[in-house]
Structures are given as structure tokens and as C-alpha cells.
Structure 1
Amino acid sequence: MLDIKNLLVRRGEGALAHHVRLPHLHVRAGEILAITGESGSGKSTLLEAIGLLLAPVELERFQLGPGRQEPPARTGVLPAQDIARLLASDDQPALAAVRSQHLGFILQSGGLLPFLSVRDNISLPRRLLGMSTHSAHIDHAVEVLRLQGLLDKRPQALSIGERQRVACVRAIAHEPLLLLADEPTAALDPHSARRLFELLLSLVSSMGLSALVVSHDWALLKDFGLPRLGAVSRQGETLFEPMD
């Protein structure tokens, strides 16, 4: 579903430049991978590059979607897209279409629109794409995260943890191919964090998504047995590679 080879991103210039390098990444449909490392190691930078918010300075391969020998996980999903080609040609309209249709983001801040209700925040990605506002996946996520009583409220009436739970549902509302989550449990109590991880695992599996989750919650990652992509820091560079 997600296949990347030799991705290099640069932050800063000259002597202050720091490079984030990803030699290889392959995430199958229905699989969730954790990205770990110390603060400032470049985890969010890597997520932004994979989320097409930062342009890499080097890239050999970046494909999103079913491979040549792999049937689509869901009906209506097109064959794998050559994202590397779109980046090389700086095709901004096509890249924007990939971001809106096939990527789902969960930000640390939640990123909810304050002038919309919870219900409208969740349905907004589907409405923008011309999709039906009703979805069984959304109904299931709302029930598991106990958001039924919050649907008519606005974000300012919610706690930080409630906003983050809403943000998680919104991120999968339009049924993306790839879910990118930056510390989705940072504002949650341990019980809510576990329920959220359980939901993410269930949705990734049932919807056939691929998911990358940045997290500092080592105990939670260990409990769920998630495979890890860990940061190895060097002078002027961070390398991300699989960890045991």
C-alpha cells in the first residue's frame, strides 16, 4: 500500500542544516507502524514529508496504493500512484488531490474548525469530496469513542482529550488510503489512550488502511506489539530504520 525508497528531507540551510533520511519503508494495507525517537529527532518532519507537506531533496521511489500483484483493498481504489513522479514534476494540483482524497491527518493540536459543530467537523472531509455524509465507519468510531453526546457541540466546549478523539474520527471520515497520526494520544488519559489505539487498530484493519503513528508512549506501543520505525541520530542527520 505504501512503498518508499531513499527519501531525504532537509531542514535548514548550510552548517545548520539537518537531514532526515528514510532508506526504505513498506507498509501493507491493514498495517499500522509506529515512528519513535527522542524529541527533536525529526519524527514530525518525516511525517510531513510522507504527508506531502514537505518536498524531499532526494527520492527514489514513493508509491501509494495497491502494488502490481496486489488487488485493491477496497472497491473504487485506483492502482498505485507514482507520488515520486508527481513530486519530481512539482505537479501541485495532483499532489493536493492526493492529500485531500487519500491521506488522513491527526495533528497534536487536533486542528478542529471552531465555528463548526463536532458533527460538521467530522463530515467536512466527505462533503468536500462530494461523498455521502453517512458512513458506517464513522458511526462505529463515534460509538467506540463515546462521542454521541458531543456531536452538536463546538470544539471550544470540549476538553482537550475530547477534541483529540473527534480529530481521530475526522481523519478517517473520508476513508483515506494512508492515515498519518502525530502523537494522537498525547492529551489523553491512559484509559482513553488505550481505547483510541484499539479503535485505530480496528479501523486500519477493517478499512484496509495503512497507518503511521508518531508516539512517545513506549508502554502502549509495547502492549499492542506495534512494529517500530526508530530514529538513529548522527551528526547532522537522523536515520529512520526498523527496530526490534
Structure 2
Amino acid sequence: MRTRLRPQPVVPATSAVMTVPPQRRPAVVLTDVTRVHPGGVRALDGVSLVVERGSFLAVMGPSGSGKSTLMHCAAGLDVPTSGSVEVDGVAVQRLDETARAVLRRERVGFVFQSYHLLPSLSVRDNITLPLRLGGRTVDPAWLDELVERVGLSHRLDSRPGELSGGQQQRAALARALVTRPAVVFADEPTGALDSTTAQQVLRLLRELVDDLHQTVVMVTHDAGAAAQAHETVVMRDGRIVGAVA
């Protein structure tokens, strides 16, 4: 089992980066994380979680259970009210917004239900956009491997509007992976797809974890989707209330 719910004390990020080899660091560590929204709504209530590198974790729960807030805090999109979050050994809460944006661009990949592809750009340019925004060059061999794996080698010059929903989600997945991130967060990645296409995308996610040792955290309400993960945690009222391996 590669995802632990109650971690042992974590070495501070400033030391962990220097002393723990990257391949041995957990991808994400949340320690006693609480997030209180304006109005006093406690969206997360003392959540601790370790996501090991190369694992596939699904997060399930009813609407309002805190699963989306958990993802936002774990991905550096939001800052916890208390507790700590580390992504690839970096303490997120110690960063200002500019530094968090750099962290997200370079070490985190995102896949959303609505794809978020830019309609005016080709598939190739959509996939490589995170690299170009960061002033980084494209590794042609890595790009070729990605587009081959997602089955889009023949559609690189197409626009998103010329693709099916499944193809658009595959392009979004390649975009999430192009920076070789420490972790990919997938928010209901199959919610807009028919059941057959959804299963194809989920199998692709699992293959990327198993073959490339990519780390994936997927928020979903679908038990069938969660079955593709190595482990599933269940949330209710801002807490993790169970886990299934």
C-alpha cells in the first residue's frame, strides 16, 4: 500500500530537500491540515495524508465533504488555515503567491473535467504551453512519447474543437505531464465523458502510473473510476473517514 493516512513526523521541507533523494521523497504530504472558509465553514478538519511517489490515489465523498478543498490545498491552489502541506519536499504555506504559481507550473499537473484547452491553439501548442510559459524548451523525445501514449500523434496540428471529448481529455493529460511533474491532480477527469471513453481515459491514467511511475491524485464521485486507483480515501465533513486499497 503506497498511500498512508497518518504520516510519521515529517522532516521540515528546508532540510528534506537537501537530505532526501527526490525519488524517495513523498510526492505530497499534508499534516493536520485545516481550512476554514469565510463565514466559519470548516472545509477541512485536521487532515493528514501522505501520497507516495508513483502511487494513484482516489479521493471520494459526497458534495461538501471537503474533497475539492483537499485537492486545492494539496496542489498549492489554496493555503490551509493551519497545518502544513509539502509538494515534492517544498512547504507550500511558506511561499508567496508568485512562488506558489511557479511551484504549480513546474511540479504540479492538472486535469479538469472541462479540459481547459485553449481553442485558438493547436493540440501541440496546448500540450507544450506550460513549458513555454515557464521559459523552458520542449524535449522532443518526451513529447513524442506522450502524444504516442495518449494516441494523438496524428492530431498535433488540430484545434481542440476538431477533437472528440475523449481526445481533448487526452490532450489535457499530455499537457499535465509535459513538465514531468511530481504529482498530477485530476478533478473529475471523466465527468464529461461517456462510459466507454471514460474507461479508456482511466486505463490510460493507470498505465501512466504503472509504466512511468507518475503520481496521480484523482477527485471523483464515481466508485468505478476510483477502482482504477491503488487506494481510495473517503471524506465526510472535512475529514478522512475511511480508506480502501
Q: TM-score, normalised by structure 1?
A: 0.80
Separation (CA, whole Å) in 1 of partners of 2:159 and 2:174: 15
Q: Secondary structure at the match of 1:179?
A: strand
2:218 aligned to which of 213, 235, 244: 213
The alpha-carbon distance between structure 1 residues 112 and 58, as it changes in their structure 2 partners (threshold 3 A), is: same
Shift of 1:48: 1.3
User: Does structure 1 residue 202 correspond to structure 2 residue 207?
Assistant: yes
Separation (CA, whole Å) in 1 of partners of 2:191 and 2:140: 27
Shift of 1:225: 5.2
1:27 aligned to which of 51, 61, 66: 51
Separation (CA, whole Å) in 1 of partners of 2:74 and 2:56: 15
User: Does structure 1 residue 178 correspond to structure 2 residue 183?
Assistant: yes
State the partner residue of 1:69: none
**Contact map agreement 1:141 1:169 (CA 8 A) in 2:** yes
The alpha-carbon distance between structure 1 residues 130 and 166, as it changes in their structure 2 partners (threshold 3 A), is: same
- Long gaps (5+) in structure 1: 66-79
Judge which range, 121-130 or 199-208, deviates more: 199-208
**Contact map agreement 1:34 1:221 (CA 8 A) in 2:** yes
Separation (CA, whole Å) in 1 of partners of 2:241 and 2:54: 20
State the partner residue of 2:92: 83
Instruction: Please list every run of at least 4 consecutive aligned residues from structure 1 whose deviation after the TM superposition is greater than 4 angstroms.
Output: none
Shift of 1:119: 0.9
Number of matched pairs: 218
State the partner residue of 1:63: 86
Trace 1:1-244 onto structure 2 (pairs within 5 A): 1=26, 2-14=28-40, 17-59=41-83, 61-65=84-88, 80-86=89-95, 91-222=96-227, 224=228, 226-233=230-237, 238-244=238-244
Separation (CA, whole Å) in 2 of partners of 1:231 and 1:95: 26
- Long gaps (5+) in structure 2: 1-25
Separation (CA, whole Å) in 2 of partners of 1:156 and 1:135: 25
Q: Secondary structure at the match of 1:196?
A: helix
> Pairwise CA RMSD of aligned residues?
2.1
Q: TM-score, normalised by structure 2?
A: 0.80
The alpha-carbon distance between structure 1 residues 232 and 184, as it changes in their structure 2 partners (threshold 3 A), is: same
Structure 1: which amino acid aligns with 2:157? D
Shift of 1:153: 1.5
Q: Percent identity?
A: 35
Shift of 1:189: 2.8
**Contact map agreement 1:11 1:18 (CA 8 A) in 2:** yes
Separation (CA, whole Å) in 2 of partners of 1:200 and 1:22: 29
Separation (CA, whole Å) in 2 of partners of 1:155 and 1:55: 33
